[in-house]
Amino acid sequence: MSLLRFLAKRGGGKGGFDVSGRCVRSARVFRRRTMNNDAYHKELLVSQFPMSSAQSKTRNRLLAFSSAFASIYIGYYSFPIVSDGMINSAVYMVEHESNFMRKRGLWRSEWVLSTFPDSTYNTAKKCVEKGMLEVVLNLCELKEKETDEDVKLGAKRVLVMLAQSESGRKRVDGDGKLRKRVKRAAPEALLAPEPSR
């Protein structure tokens, strides 16, 4: 070990060793060679390759198509992971005091329920489990001075969607008081849902 320290202090002639015993000069030389002569790590620019306008247009279309396809694919498979957070935030937004936040929460929950079917993603089941049915029902029962008319209409639409789902129907049928409240707020919610086309 003392010989290595001696060589490290002295520089070791052409070579040289660091304290751990590695050869310093050869690593430096290797780095210089790879930086100057390495064809695999050179920066490639699109401007280096001449393309006609038709090729450029085709390239741009392929890039756009592949980006759109990748985002749809990722969105489809990541929605079950993200849906719990979206539903939670929609419930919090609907419970908020301001009508602006209520409208945004109702819009979000209506979009989730209409876009993603309950049979595939269990969105209505998750909404009912998170308490969205009761929150929306409370909004429908608010007096005119306490909320906006748009909020009441949005709440009725979401209430109908939730009450006509399988999990919502089970929840409403299982509780007599809840059934009476739903019937008072939106009688059309207790009707059979329209068949999907």
Shared domain check, 95 and 9:
no
Shared domain check, 90 and 14:
no
Shared domain check, 152 and 91:
yes
Q: Is 49 within the bounds of a domain?
A: no
Residue 127 to residue 87: CA distance in whole angstroms: 6
Shared domain check, 25 and 122:
no
Residue 81 to residue 87: CA distance in whole angstroms: 11
The percentage of residues in the chain with a pLDDT greater than 90, rounded to a whole number, is 12
> Do 75 and 116 form a contact (C-beta atoms < 8 A)?
no
Shared domain check, 122 and 186:
yes
162-175 mean pLDDT: 88
Q: Is 100 within the bounds of a domain?
A: yes
Shared domain check, 98 and 21:
no
> Do 136 and 158 form a contact (C-beta atoms < 8 A)?
yes
Shared domain check, 181 and 87:
yes
Residue 143 phi, psi (nearest 5)? -75, 165
Q: Is 61 within the bounds of a domain?
A: no
What pLDDT, on the 0 to 100 scale, is given for residue 52?
Answer: 83
Q: Specify the range with the lowest mean pLDDT, choosing from 54-63, 77-86, 169-178.
A: 77-86
Q: Long-range contacts for 38-42 (Cβ within 8 Å, ≥24 apart)?
A: none
Domain of 169 in residue numbering reads as 82-190
The pTM assigned to this predicted structure is 0.59
Q: Is 58 within the bounds of a domain?
A: no
How many separate domains does the chain show?
2
Average of per-residue pLDDT values in the chain = 78
What pLDDT, on the 0 to 100 scale, is given for residue 72?
Answer: 87
